[in-house]
A and B are shown apart, each in its own frame.
Chain A
C-alpha cells in the first residue's frame, strides 16, 4: 500500500492491514497448538529415539574412555614401527586402572573383535600385573614386550590405534559385508561369508515380486469392483475388506495350515494328480511360502487405492474409445489404463514399502531361505544383543524406505491415502 492512499482503519483505530495480520497470526498459532500435543508426543517417543539409533550405531566411545593416556601418547606415534616408551607406559597405567575397576575383560573382548588374539595376550598381561611382575622403575616397553611375542608385533598396536576415534562407521560397513582392513582402507569380506548382501538383495527381490504379483492380481479385481453395479460390488468388496481387517497372525496361521506338506493345497495337488502322494512338494519354510502368504496379505493394499481411482473413471470414456473405432483392447490400453496410473503408483509404492519391512510372515513361513532383512535386525536385537549393529541395519533399511516414502509423497501426497 502506498503512503499517499489513506489507510483503512478498523473501529478501534488500528490499520486494517495490521489487524488482519494479527488475526491471521492468531489463527496460525491456534491451528499449531492443536497439532502440537501429537507432534511433541511423537518427537519425544518416536522421532528422537530413531535419531538415537544413529548415535548408537556409530558409537565407539567405550575404548576411547578406557585408554585415555594410551591414545594421548599415540598422537605422536606415526604408526609404522613399534610405538615409543610413552605409549607402552600410557597403556600400562590405563590397563592398571581397568584391572582395579575389574573392567579389563571388556577391553580384551572389544580389541579381540578388532584383531584376533588380543584376548589371550591382555589376560597374560593382567596376570603379570596382578603378580606385581612389572617393575615400574624399569622400561615398561621392554617388560610388556616380554609378556608375549604379539606385544612385539606392530600390527597389534596399529589395531589399538584404530579404535581411538569415538565414532565408527564399522557397523554400516558390516551391514554391507565390508570392513576396515589393517591399513584403514575398506575391504570386502570373503565371498563365502557375504551373508548380508544376500539378505538385502533377497529383501528387494521379494518386495519387488510381491508388488508385481499384487498388481497382476489386484488390477483385474479392482476393475471388476469399480465397473460392477453397486449392489454386487459391495458384496465382493467384503472379500477384500475382511482379510484387510483380520489379524495378520490369523492369516499367516491359515497359510501355514494350507501350505504344510499334509496341508490342503498339497492334498488338492495329489487329488488332481499333479504330484504323487509320496513326493509332496515343500511349499512352506522357503521362498514360495513367503511369496504366496505375503501376496495374499498385502493384496488389499493394492486393490483399495486402485479401486478408488477406477471408481472416478467414467464408463462413457471407454464407450467413446470404442465408438471412435478402437477395439476393446485398444480402448482399454489407450484410454482406461493411462487414467489408472495414479492408482497403480499409489498401490505399488504402498505394497512395496510394506513388503520391504515385513517381519512376522517371513519369520513364520519363510524358513531359512525366505527370511528378510527385518528378521536379521530382530535376530541381532534379541539373540546376539549387538544393538548397535541392529540400529545400523535398521537405519540403512529406513533410509531406503524414506526415499520411497518421499517419492510416494510427491506422486500421491500423504493426505490422499485412503483407508477402507
Chain B
C-alpha cells in the first residue's frame, strides 16, 4: 500500500488515518482472544492480572487451573467434554448426510420451487436461536426425547444442515455435470457414480460444511440449555453456568483449549477452501 510520491499531504494524512483505523479494528477483533492465554496460567483465584503477573514473576504463573480442569474433584468438564464430542460427531454425520443429499437435489436444474425450498432449509440459521430452542423443546418434550443425547443430536442436525447445504451447493455450482453423464454412459449405476465421481469432487465442500456443523454443535448452548438434563451437560453449558455463577479460572483453561481447537479448525477449513477453489479452477 505504498503511496506514490506525488500524493498530496492531505491524502497522505488521510491514508495514515485509514491505516490507523484498520489497525485498531484488527486489534479489537483479535486482542480479546489473547487476554485469555496469560490469565489461564494465573496462580491465584481471581480473573485479574495479579501484581506478580505484571512483574512477570515466575511464581505468579502455574498450571494449577489446567490440573484442576483435568483432575479436579467433582469437576464436570470430563463428562461435558465427552458429551460435547459425542453429540457434535453424530450431529455432524447427520447434517452431512441430509445436507449433502439436499444440496445435490437443489443443484439439479430440474428442481421445482428451488427458491422456496432453499429458504426453508436455510431458515434454522436465520431464526433466532431462542425461538428454535423453544420450538425444538416443545417437540422433543412431546415425543419424549428431552434430556436425551438423541434429542440434542437431532436438534443440532437441524441447526447444522444449513451450513452443509450452503457449502455443498456452492461447490456444486462449479460442478461439471458431463462427468457424471460420462460415468452413466459407461455403465455405472447412480450410487457408484456418486461414490466414485461426484463425492471425491465435492468432498472439500462437504468437509468444510461438516466443519461448520461440528463447530455449530460444539459451540451451541441456547438449545442445549432447554433440552439438557444433568447427564447431558456439554462444555458450552458448563461455561455458561460457570460464567453466571462461580467465575473460576478453570473456565479460562477450558477457553484456552477451545481457542487452540478453533485455530486447528480454522487452518483445516482454510486449506480445504483453497483446495476446493483450485479444483473448481478458480484462480485468483
Contact = CB atoms under 8 A, between A and B. Distances in A.
A247 B139 CA distance: 27
Contact of B239 (A220, A249, A264): A249
B41 to A, nearest CB: 14
Contact of B240 (A299, A357, A360): A360
A1 interface: no
A324 interface: no
A250 B36 contact: yes
A378 interface: yes
A398 to B, nearest CB: 5
A228 B23 CA distance: 14
**Max chain B CB contacts within 10 Å: which of A28, A35, A328?**
A35
B128 A401 contact: yes
Contact of B111 (A28, A378, A418): A28
Nearest to A375: B130
Contact of B108 (A31, A254, A356): A31
B195 interface: no
A251 B33 contact: yes
B136 interface: yes
A33 B190 CA distance: 14
Contacts of B138: 49, 52-53, 56, 387
Interface in B247-284: 247, 251-252, 255, 258-259, 262-263, 265-266, 269-270, 273, 284
B201 interface: no
A240 to B, nearest CB: 6
A37 interface: yes
A323 interface: no
Nearest to B122: A414
A32 B105 contact: yes
A418 B276 CA distance: 14
A243 interface: yes
Interface string B130-150: 111011111100000000000
B77 interface: no
B214 to A, nearest CB: 11
Given A34-B102, A46-B136, A39 B120 contact: yes
Contact of B262 (A46, A247, A258): A247
Given A357-B130, A420-B269, A42 B121 contact: yes
Nearest to B126: A405
A256 B251 CA distance: 12
A417 B166 contact: yes
A253 B252 contact: yes
Interface in A393-419: 394-395, 397-398, 401, 405, 408-409, 413-415, 417-419
Nearest to A251: B32
Tell me whether chain B's interface is mostly helix, strand or loop, or mixed.
helix
Nearest to B222: A359
Contact of A221 (B25, B105, B117, B155): B25
B158 A238 contact: no
Contact of B135 (A33, A50, A243): A50
B160 to A, nearest CB: 11
A105 B250 CA distance: 48
Nearest to B108: A31
Contacts of B137: 381
A239 to B, nearest CB: 4
A163 interface: no
- Which of the listed residues B18, B104, B110, B215 has the most CB atoms from chain A within 10 Å of its own CB? B110
A46 B106 contact: no
Give the most central of A221, A249, A311, A418: most B CB within 10 Å. Answer: A249
Contacts of B167: 419
16 contacts: A31-B105, A37-B98, A42-B120, A42-B121, A52-B138, A220-B18, A224-B1, A239-B30, A245-B269, A247-B239, A247-B258, A255-B32, A299-B28, A300-B29, A414-B115, A420-B273
Given A31-B111, A253-B239, 11 more contacts: A37-B98, A44-B139, A227-B1, A238-B266, A245-B215, A250-B239, A256-B247, A299-B25, A360-B222, A398-B128, A420-B270
List the 3 shortest-distance A-B pairs measured between CB atoms, nearest first. Answer: A357-B128, A34-B105, A35-B105
Interface of B: 1, 11, 14, 18-19, 21-22, 25-26, 28-30, 32-33, 35-36, 39, 47-49, 98-99, 101-102, 104-106, 108, 110-112, 115, 117-124, 126-132, 134-139, 154-155, 157-158, 161, 163, 165-167, 169-170, 208, 212, 215, 218-219, 221-222, 225-226, 236, 239-240, 243-244, 247, 251-252, 255, 258-259, 262-263, 265-266, 269-270, 273, 284
